Amino acid sequence: MQNFLKVDRQEPEKENVLARIKNFQEIYKVFDKKHAKNQAERCVQCGDPYCSSTGCPLNNFIPHWLKKVAENDLDLAFKISNQTSPFPEILGRICPQDNLCEGSCTLGDDGYGAITIGSIETAITERGFEEGSELNFPGITTDKKVAVVGSGPSGISAATFLLRAGIEVTLFEKEDRAGGLLTYGIPGFKLDKEKIARRIDILKEAGLILKTNCEVGKDIEFTQLEKEFDAIFLGVGASQGNTARIGGEDHDNVFLAMEYLTAIQKSLFGQEKPALYDVKDKNVTVIGGGDTAMDCVRTAVREGAKTVTCVYRRDEASMPGSKKEFKNAKDEGVEFLFHKAPKEAKLDKGVLVLEDTEIVEADGRKKVQIIQGSESEFETDIVIMALGFNNHETPYLDLDKSKWNEIVVDDKLQTSKSKIYAGGDCIRGADLAVTAARDGRSAALNIIEDLL
């Protein structure tokens, strides 16, 4: 261990740009065992590992599994890593590590380059599966039954920890496939869809009953779930997209990020792509500067758009998403227009009207202000709005909700009805897969304590 003076931080190999924009395959390779060991050996095994205690929302035992990788004990690393996390190989791929575990790594603070925690985490479980490491579930050993509504990361996490306690879980999902935004939001070039399907298959083998194409509140009454199950976990997400509230946004060629990403992913699964979402040889403009905007621009590039431009009302430094994804988008040919805000979509004329913006200080806060008289016309055929998400209306849930429709929970993640728990985006608004996974785990452990 501690060879950080001799070995630099190394990212996994990345597919070259010209090859990767032709398909939706993951662009980062998974470390082989040699590289994972070499990078894990850099860890200094801090007495108080901030990566785990404050960086990782799951408080994963990071230094423990790094040590085991460095000692070539992959099976034990696999077991430790999978103990606290419901799907480490997925979170290792998609967590914004620079803001989480790696952002808290002592080596990063000291200028040596943080340990590549996420990439090693992915490699542990991928290589572990290849070498026959197994996840042990006891089977259904209790007479308790829990319903999980929504199969995103919070729902999958809750199901995983409940099944580990021998509790029967029925997972209700309104879509045709499980995974929530892991399946229909995050594109395949960041997360291979097979990895989600593999986790679902493992859970099914462990006793999970999965009901897809089943919308609670429509295909089955919520009150029926209340009667039939000992407890319920709600992980219904918050993916109702915001619009720019500009003239012309009701045009057919203006769509929301999730409509677009879902339609493209469904077409990659073999369903017919509605002609509306075919951007081939078209000029595409995406409004927004976060990770969802980066997912849209990079999807449009792979879909053969003629030009892809991202319009953001602040500057590059203020972009809220991951720097890594911004760089990947730029490398893939996306153009960026900063300090511009949309005013009107005149898509019958092939134009998006933009206005220049400036940042001003008001009431001690920096605000975006439109520069009057700065209108310009930008040629485009398609506009995609990636402007954040709200909670869906959930009239079928007779529970306390905030004015933003978030389900209100206490510190046990219990809702206003004691046997109903909730977690993930539906309790806090759009956030991260790892916080959703943590909620699913916490709720499951509380349910287990209450039921057994």
Find the binder of ligand FAD among 103, 108, 113, 217 (CB under 6 A): 217
Interface residue with ligand FAD among 62, 66, 74, 94 (CB under 6 A) is 94
Q: Which residues, in sequence order, are CB contacts of 130 under 8 Å at separation 6+?
A: none
- Least Å from the CB of residue 207 to ligand SF4: 25
Residue 216 binding target from ligand FAD, ligand SF4, none, CB below 5 to 8 Å by type? ligand FAD
Nearest approach in angstroms of CB 384 to ligand SF4 is 28
- Please choose, out of 115-123, 154-162, 302-310, 391-399, the segment that lies near ligand SF4 by the rule CB under 6 A: 115-123
Q: What is the DSSP secondary-structure string of 395-424?
A: TT--S-B-TT-PBP--TT-B-SSTTEEE-T
28, 35, 36, 60: residue in contact with ligand SF4 (rule CB under 6 A): 60
**In this complex, which beta carbon is closest to ligand FAD, that of residue 180 or of residue 248?**
180
Q: Which stretch, 94-102, 204-212, 233-241, 404-412, contacts ligand SF4 (CB under 6 A)?
A: 94-102
Residues 323 and 317: their CA atoms lie apart, in Å, by 9
Using rule CB under 6 A, residue 434 touches ligand FAD: yes
Q: Please report whether residue 182 would count as binding ligand SF4 according to CB under 6 A.
A: no
Measured from the CB atom, the residue of 200 and 258 that comes closer to ligand FAD is 258
- Among residues 82, 424, 438, 441, which is the contact residue for ligand FAD, using CB under 6 A? 424
Using CB distances below 5 to 8 A depending on partner kind, what does residue 334 bind out of ligand FAD, ligand SF4, none? none
Q: Per rule CB under 6 A, is residue 95 in the interface with ligand FAD? A: yes
- Rg (C-alpha) for the chain, rounded Å, is 23
Residue with tokens 């057994």: 452
Which uninterrupted H or E stretch holds 352?
Answer: strand 351-362
Residue closest to 421 by CA, chosen among 223, 135, 230, 176 = 230
Q: Are 117 and 64 in contact (CB under 8 A)?
A: no
Instruction: Tell whether residue 121 is a contact of ligand FAD (CB under 6 A).
Output: no
Phi, psi (degrees; rounded to nearest 5) at 296: -70, -45
Decide if residue 107 touches ligand FAD (CB under 6 A). Answer: no
Helix H, strand E, coil C: the string for 113-161 is CCCCHHHHHHHHHHHHHHCCCCCCCCCCCCCCEEEEECCCHHHHHHHHH
Residue 384 parent element (H or E): strand 382-385
Using CA atoms, how far residue 184 sits from 94, 142, 158, 192, 292, in Å, is 14, 33, 20, 11, 12
Q: Is 115 in the site for ligand SF4 (CB under 6 A)?
A: no
Q: Is 100 in the site for ligand FAD (CB under 6 A)?
A: no
Judged by CB under 6 A, does residue 80 bind ligand SF4?
Answer: no
Strands 382-385 and 283-287: parallel
Residue spans of alpha helices (H) in 206-286: 222-228, 257-268
Determine the Cα–Cα distance for residues 229 and 429; give it in Å rounded to an integer: 27
Amino acid at residue number 354:
L
- 152 vs 248, beta carbon nearer ligand FAD: 152
Q: Which is nearer to ligand SF4, 29 or 64 (CB)?
A: 64
Q: Report the alpha-carbon distance of residue 308 to residue 26 in Å, rounded.
A: 20
Size of the site for ligand FAD (CB under 6 A): 40
Taking CB within 5 to 8 Å according to partner kind, which of ligand FAD, ligand SF4, none is near residue 181?
ligand FAD
Contact 139, 164 (CB under 8 A): no
- Does 341 participate in binding ligand FAD (rule CB under 6 A)? no
Site string for ligand FAD, 137-166 (x = CB under 6 A): ------------xxxxxxx-----------
288 is a contact residue toward ligand FAD (CB under 6 A): no
Q: Is residue 123 near ligand SF4 by the rule CB under 6 A?
A: no
Of 189, 393, 375, which Cα lies nearest the Cα of 297? 189
The CA angle 267-268-270, to the nearest 5 degrees, is: 65
Question: Among 10-18, 233-241, 277-285, 401-409, which window interacts with ligand FAD (CB under 6 A)?
Answer: 233-241
CA angle 383, 384, 387 (to 5 degrees): 130
Per CB under 6 A, does 100 bind ligand SF4? yes
**Cα dihedral sign for 429, 430, 435, 439?**
positive
Residue 331 or 344: the one with the smaller Cβ distance to ligand FAD is 331
Between the two ends of the chain, the Cα-to-Cα distance in Å is 42
User: Does residue 91 bind ligand SF4 (CB under 6 A)?
Assistant: yes
One character per residue 410-449, x = contact with ligand SF4 (rule: CB under 6 A): ------------------------x---------------
Q: What residue ranges bind ligand SF4 (CB under 6 A)?
A: 56, 58, 60, 62, 85, 91-92, 95, 97, 100-101, 117-118, 121, 434
Q: Which parts of this chain interact with ligand FAD (CB under 6 A)?
A: 94-95, 149-155, 172-175, 180-182, 185-186, 190, 215-217, 235-237, 239, 258, 261, 291-292, 295, 424-426, 430-434, 436
